[in-house]
Structure 1
Amino acid sequence: MPILLLTALTAGAAWVITRSEVPLRTVQSELLVRIGYEYTPVPWIASGETQQINFRADEVIGTEIQFLTAERTIQGALAAAPHPEMKPSADGRYDAAEMLRARQKLAVKRLEGSNVILVEVTDRDAAWPIAFSQALLDTYLQDRMQLFSDPAYDNLLMEDEAAAAGTSLGLDKEALGIGRRIAETIDYLGATAAALAASPAQPELRTALAQDVRALQIFAEGLERMSALQNQLDQLARILAAESGPAATAGTANLVSEDLLDAAVEQLASDAARLNAIAAERNMLAKQLDTIRAARLRKSMRDEASHNMTVITPPHILAATNGIDRVQRTILAGLIALILSSLFFVYLDGIRRRKI
């Protein structure tokens, strides 16, 4: 009778305690992991665009689990969904003890044989596990995009593009000024050649100018992208090679200066060389800009294709109770009480028999 009485009392107490006890609630969510472009380095040049990078699934999933359980992620989730029993420090962060309590409520693991990560949050509070699970996923997805986005690389590309575009604009302005000066010089030489062709009073100057034009023709032939200048020099050569016209007035020859002609020829040669160099620099800058813009395009496409983490199942409370239920705990408590009380009374009975 004492054994049965103690068993009944223990089972009844267990029933009352489990009925008044707040049950544990487990919130579960599932994430699908696909190996995306964020695990491949960004190519700096077009030739490196098709490099082959291989990763094992367990390495990638292990990295993602580390992101999910990192202190930065948990701190952000607690800031968005604070626990009613956890108090942050004055700076808003949680100390090591509170972080340990939060980690004990969190379980993150890979489902064996799959690319699925299971996230479970267990607590007695009715609302906190759902709120914390959602905050944890939101913080994790936001942080991982920042970790993989590499803003320094984005800024470098933008700075390089701005510098190349600025240099190209400066070269365009310089080329425009040189082009105008070449046009003015050609007009001056053309007017001078026409005046010398019309006046036989200065044959030496006309011959010298013809030699200078021929030297300019040879010089321009060695320059790329100077076909327009070559045509203008050919026209000057034809004017100077024509037979002299009727004698002009005596003042006409005095308008032509040998020093001005020499200066004009030297200026034209210098401007032509610089314009040719500018054309080569602009061509190089155009290729550089194409490379930078292609890299930015690949970067944007890479970012768009890097959304490889998908929440399959949002946070939800499991239908099954956590641990053993009330009836099972009551029966277990009764069995334990039965065994212990039986052993106790058997021990007492043994002592009594030895005394007799």
Structure 2
Amino acid sequence: MIVLGFESSCDETGVALVETRPGAAPRLLGEALHSQAEMHAEYGGVVPELASRDHIRRVLPLARQVLAESGRTLAEVDLVAYTRGPGLAGALLVGAGVAVALGAALGRPTFGVHHLEGHLLSPFLADPAPTFPFVALLVSGGHTQLMRVDAVGSYELLGETIDDAAGEAFDKSAKLLGLGYPGGPALSRLAEFGDATAFALPRPLLHSGDLDFSFAGLKTAVMTQQRKLGTNVCEQSRADLAASTQAAIVDVLSAKALRALKASGTKRLVVAGGVGANRRLRETLDAGAKKLGARVFYPPLALCTDNGAMIAMAAAMRLERGLAQGSTDGAFDVRPRWPLDELSAAAS
């Protein structure tokens, strides 16, 4: 099965072709991604209307690029998948509308994918890929969740953030440090030159006894330290505060994820989402999992952020396991708010 996938849930336009074959590992035939980060940087965050308009401009050229680079034609596509939600309503409508129109023109079925399920299953595009069951840490700008995954469509929520997501904590802290948007990667780069023990920042809910997260208080602590440093702060102090902030976030994420892994009885931890590309987080999780006799699986670095490949992959895995059927009636909707546990309820 060859699946053409479209991702347009927020500020990245992704298109990809994925081939799946019985008894063989899935193969990424082609992938293209456009980030709107530079456009939104002027405003310090994502502007929904601008995001939607940019998706409209980018989606078809990216689709042509993927087809050309993969050496495939539209006639070879068996299914057209798109992100149905969650995400920005206008942005979702762009990808959904293009995908369903294309499916109707080709006489091919279309299928709407849950964005977080795409992230959950994206490590199956890596080599080696995980096997079920596993514990998953979904960590991005909009989501921080721990899930137990027993199979495609079988997800149990173990814990989630009660306020800011980890990616938000990175971005908001970076903004306080004057690093602009998107701040997470910039903060991580600056942290490489800092002392992670220079500032005693809190680790919210680290010893709460549950698997929930909270990062709003950490952001406030960073703001307090930044004000103490003043406006003429030296670059080394900024680097130290960046390193201390990153260490606080990583400590909480890794402790909770490893606690969930140990309690689950499984030996596999999957990490997905943009923050999963953070080098310190990977090093900490890898070392902790090794002590437990377990292993951590990640998607390829290029597929940690939102992308079309994870959407195509999730659609193929659902259909191949008989958990859903593609639609050919030309109707579609989007789900800006869509709890992941609804997928498990529908599959049971």
Give the TM-score band, short-chain normalised. Answer: under 0.3
Q: TM-score, normalised by structure 2?
A: 0.20
Q: TM-score, normalised by structure 1?
A: 0.20
The answer to which structure has the higher helix fraction is 1
Higher relative contact order (CA 8 A, sep 6+): 1
The answer to which structure has the higher strand fraction is 2
